[in-house]
Amino acid sequence: MYTNSVLQTDYPWTKTPLVASAPMLNIAMAPLAVSVSAAGGLGFLAGGFDVSALESNLEEAVHLIKQSSAPIQETYASTAVLPIGVGFLNWGADLPKSIAAIEKYRPCAAWLFGPRSIPDDLRPWVEQVRAVTEGKTKIWVQVGTVAEAVAVAEALNPDVLVVQGADAGGHGLAQSASVITLVPEVKDVLTTRQVKNDIPLLAAGGIVDGRGMAASLALGASGVAMGTRFLASSEAKIARGYQDEVLRVSDGGSNTSRSKVYDRARGILSWPVQYDGRGVINKSYIDSAEGGMSDEENRALYKEELKKGDLGWGPNGRLTTYAGTGVGLVKTKLPAGEIITNMIQEAKAILQQLKA
- Interface positions with a second copy (CB under 8 A): 1-2, 144-147, 165-167, 173, 175-182, 184-185, 188-189, 205-209, 211-212, 214-220, 250-254, 257, 324-326, 328-329, 347, 350-356
Question: In terms of CB distance, is 34 or 203 closer to a second copy?
Answer: 203
Smallest separation (angstroms) from a second copy to the CB of 195: 15
Could you give the 3-state DSSP secondary structure of residue 249? coil
Smallest separation (angstroms) from a second copy to the CB of 80: 35
Smallest separation (angstroms) from a second copy to the CB of 197: 18
Question: In terms of CB distance, is 211 or 333 closer to a second copy?
Answer: 211
Smallest separation (angstroms) from a second copy to the CB of 355: 4
Smallest separation (angstroms) from a second copy to the CB of 67: 36
Question: In terms of CB distance, is 217 or 293 closer to a second copy?
Answer: 217
Residue 201: beta bridge partners? 161
Contact 25, 46 (CB under 8 A): yes
User: Cα(23)–Cα(257) distance, rounded to whole angstroms?
Assistant: 21
Contact 30, 38 (CB under 8 A): no
Between β-strands 138-143 and 160-164, what pairing exists: parallel, antiparallel or unpaired?
Answer: parallel
Smallest separation (angstroms) from a second copy to the CB of 57: 31
Smallest separation (angstroms) from a second copy to the CB of 194: 17
Smallest separation (angstroms) from a second copy to the CB of 288: 15
Question: In terms of CB distance, is 339 or 347 closer to a second copy?
Answer: 347
Question: In terms of CB distance, is 84 or 350 closer to a second copy?
Answer: 350
The dihedrals phi and psi of 306, each to the nearest 5 degrees, come to: -55, -30
The dihedrals phi and psi of 171, each to the nearest 5 degrees, come to: -75, 145
Question: In terms of CB distance, is 94 or 346 closer to a second copy?
Answer: 346
Question: In terms of CB distance, is 43 or 165 closer to a second copy?
Answer: 165
Q: Is the preceding peptide bond at 71 cis, omega within 30 degrees of 0?
A: no
Question: In terms of CB distance, is 5 or 52 closer to a second copy?
Answer: 5
Question: In terms of CB distance, is 253 or 309 closer to a second copy?
Answer: 253
Residue 275: beta bridge partners? 173
What are the CB-based long-range contacts (under 8 Å, 24+) for 242-245? 242/313, 242/319, 242/321, 243/333, 244/310, 244/313, 245/280, 245/313, 245/314, 245/321, 245/323
Contact 302, 319 (CB under 8 A): yes
User: Cα(215)–Cα(198) distance, rounded to whole angstroms?
Assistant: 19
Q: Letter for the amino acid at 52?
A: S
Smallest separation (angstroms) from a second copy to the CB of 165: 7
User: Cα(92)–Cα(354) distance, rounded to whole angstroms?
Assistant: 45
**Could you tell me what percentage of the chain is helix, strand and coil, using 3-state DSSP and rounding each to the nearest 5?**
50, 15, 35
Contact 191, 167 (CB under 8 A): no
